Structure 1
Amino acid sequence: MTVLNGTVLSAVPQSMPPMDREFYVESFLQRWDGNTRVSYRSDMDIFLLWCDRTGFDVFEVRRPHLEMYMRYLAEERHNCSSTIRHRMGTLKLFYEIALDDDLVTKNPARLLKLPKDRRDTTTKVHLDRNELQAVCRQAYDSSPVDYALVVIMGYNGLRVSEVCGLDVQDVLGYSRGHRVMTFTQKGGAQAIVPQPAVVMRAIDAVIDGRTDGPLLLRRDGSRMVRHSAAKVCTRVAKQAGITMRVSPHTFRHSMIVNAIDAGVPLREVQIAARHADISTTIGIYDRGRRNLDTHAAHTLAAYLGAVA
C-alpha cells in the first residue's frame, strides 16, 4: 500500500466493472480476424460463462481456478486433450495481454500443467499419390471449378478459406519469372506462392477470359465458400472410390505428406506449408505416413554395409 498526499493507493489493480470486462475481451479478439477470431471468441465465451456460473472474477482468477476449469472442460464438456490445450492457450495469451495492461498481477495460465496431447499418429489423414491423382481426375471430369479447387489445395497446400477468397486478379501476377498467387493467409500476413504448370492450366480454364471477380464460382454465380467447397471435396473423393473421410484440409495434408515422400527437404516443405515451426510440419501433418521405402534404415544400411 502506498500513501500519496493523504490518498491511499492500492498496489493491486482493481477489477474492472462487468461491462468493461466484455469490452476488454472484445478488444482482445479484435487483434485477430477470420477463423482465428472465431476460434478465440468461442474459447473466451465458454470461459466467461464458467466464470459467471462459478462466481469468479475474470481478473482475479488464479492458477488453481484454471485447474478447476480444465476439469470442467474434461468432465462436463467432454473436451479432448487437444481442445483443452487450445482453450488454455487462448487464456494464456489473454492473460499475458491483461498483465501488460496492469489488469492482473501475474498470468495464472503460465505454469498450468496441461493434459498430454495423445494424438493418434497411426491414422492416415492424407491422400497418397495414387489417391490424389484419382481424385484430381474425378474433379477434372466434374467441372473446371472443382478441378481448380482440388489442385490448388492439393498441389499448393492452400487452406480452403484462402482458396475461396482468391479473386481473378490475385492469380495473374508474376514474380521472379513465376506466375504466382497472392493472398491473405492465416494470421493476416500476405503470402505469395508459385503456380506449377498443372495449377496454372486449371486456373486458366476456370478464369475463361475474365479479368476480375471471384476466382471460383458456384453454379449460381456467387463466390465459392467453405461449405460448398467441402461438398465438392466429399463428392469427388467418393466418386473416385476413396473410403476415408475427406475434407478440404485433407488436400493440405496431402500436399505436405506427398512433398515429403517426393524427397523435398523438410525445411522446404515447412516453407511451402507456411508453418512458423517445423515441428508442426513433422508432428501434425506427417501422421499415418508410414513410408517404409524411404526409411532411414535403408540409407544407413547402404552406408554401413554388411559383414556377410
Structure 2
Amino acid sequence: MSERSQARLISSIKSFYNFLIYKDKIKNDPTELLESPKIGFRLPDVLSVEEIDSIIGALDMSKPESTRNRAMIEVLYGSGVRVSELINIELSKIYFEEKYMLIEGKGSKQRLVPLSDESIKQIHFWLLDRNRLKIKKGNEDYLFLNRRGSKISRAMVFEVVKRLAKEANIQKRVSPHVFRHSFATHLLENGANLRAIQQLLGHESITTTELYTHVDIQHLRYTIENCHPMNKKK
C-alpha cells in the first residue's frame, strides 16, 4: 500500500473514532498516537518552450477540431488556468479589447486572468469554426465545445493533450496540469514576482505557490553565477 493510501486509511480511522467520542460511545481515542506517513510533494514535469512549440507543431490544422485544440493549448500555457477552469470559460466573461477573462476557480472564487495576443488570435480562429456548430441548448456561452455542440469535457482535454505530446515525441508525462506548471515556472525563471504568480494561479496561500513553482537547477546555477556579489568580482 502506498504512503498516500496509508494516510487516507489512517485519516478515515481517526475520523471514525472521533465520531464515536462525539456520540459518547467511547471515552478515549485509541488512534491518538497513530501517526500518518509523511507524503512527499511530487512536482509534475515542466515543458520547455521548445517542447510546447513541438506540441503545437504536431497539430494537423486541416482537421476541424485543430483550431479549438490550438486555442486550448494557448490558453492553458498562456494563462495557467486549471483544466476545470478551461472547460468552463464563458464567452460573456472574455474581454477581448482589455485582453483578460474572468475565471471562476476553486470555491467559486473569481479572478481576472490576462490573455496573451496569441491566445486571443487563436480564440478568434476557433470562434469562426465554433460558429458553424449546431450548439446544444444551455451550452451557448461556453467557449470550448465538442463536435456535438456541448461543453468539452475534462477527459477530452486530457486526451487531446496526451495525444499531441505523443505525436510530438515528448517523453514526459504531459497533462493539462503540466502546462499550468510550465506557465508558472517560466514566469518565475524570467523574473516574475511570486505574489503575482500566486494571483494568476488563484492560490489562496503563497506557500502553495512556493511548492508549485519549481525552478530548475540550471536556472538556479545561472542566478548564483550572475547575481551573487562574489561572482560579480571575477
Q: Which amino acid aligns with 1:237?
A: A
Over 3 Å counting, the alpha-carbon distance change for 1:107 and 1:253 in structure 2 is farther
Range moving further from structure 2, 184-193 or 135-144 = 135-144
Aligned CA RMSD, in angstroms, stands at 3.5
Residues 140 and 147, structure 1, Cα contact 8 Å, conserved in 2:
no
Equivalent residues in 2 for 1:132-151, closer than 5 Å: 132-139=52-59, 141=61, 143-151=66-74
Which residue of structure 1 aligns with residue 137 of structure 2?
A: none
Residue in 2 that maps onto 1:213: 141
Matched, 1:116 2:43: no
- The residue aligned with 1:194 is 114
Report the CA distance shift for 1:198/1:244 in structure 2 as closer, same or farther (over 3 A).
same
Q: Distance in 1 between matches of 2:122 and 2:74?
A: 8
Question: What residue in structure 1 maps to residue 230 of structure 2?
Answer: 304
Specify whether residues 90 and 144 from structure 1 end up closer, same or farther in structure 2 by C-alpha distance, changes over 3 A only. farther
SS of the equivalent of 2:161 reads helix
| Aligned equivalents of 1:110, 1:196: Cα separation in 2 | 52
Q: Distance in 2 between matches of 1:110 and 1:184?
A: 39
For 1:118, give the aligned amino acid: G
Q: How far is 1:279 from its partner?
A: 2.5
Would you say how many aligned residue pairs link Structure 1 and Structure 2?
219
Local SS of the residue matching 2:148:
coil
| 1:271 equivalent in alignment to 2:228 | no
- Report the alpha carbon displacement of residue 250 of structure 1 after superposing the two structures with TM: 1.4
CA shift, 1:173, in A, is 6.3
SS in structure 1 opposite 2:108?
A: coil
State the AA in 2 paired with 1:127: L
Distance 1:249 1:181 in 2: 19
Q: AA paired with 2:225?
A: H
Q: TM-score, normalised by structure 2?
A: 0.75
**Aligned partners of 1:220, 1:182: CA distance in 2, in Å?**
26
Residues 108, 279 of structure 1: CA spacing in aligned structure 2 closer, same or farther, 3 A cutoff?
farther
Would you say 1:182 and 2:102 are equivalent positions? yes
Which amino acid counterpart does residue 267 of structure 1 have in structure 2?
R
For 1:260, the equivalent position in structure 2 comes to 188
Unaligned runs of 5+ in 1: 1-77
Q: 2:85 aligns with which of 150, 162, 165?
A: 162
CA shift, 1:197, in A, is 0.7
C-alpha separation in 1, matches of 2:202 and 2:37: 27
Task: Give 3-state SS (helix, strand or coil) of 2:145's partner.
Answer: coil
Q: Which has the higher contact order (CA 8 A, sep 6+)?
A: 2
Which consecutive unaligned segments of at least 5 residues does structure 2 have? 132-139
Same amino acid, percent of matched pairs: 24
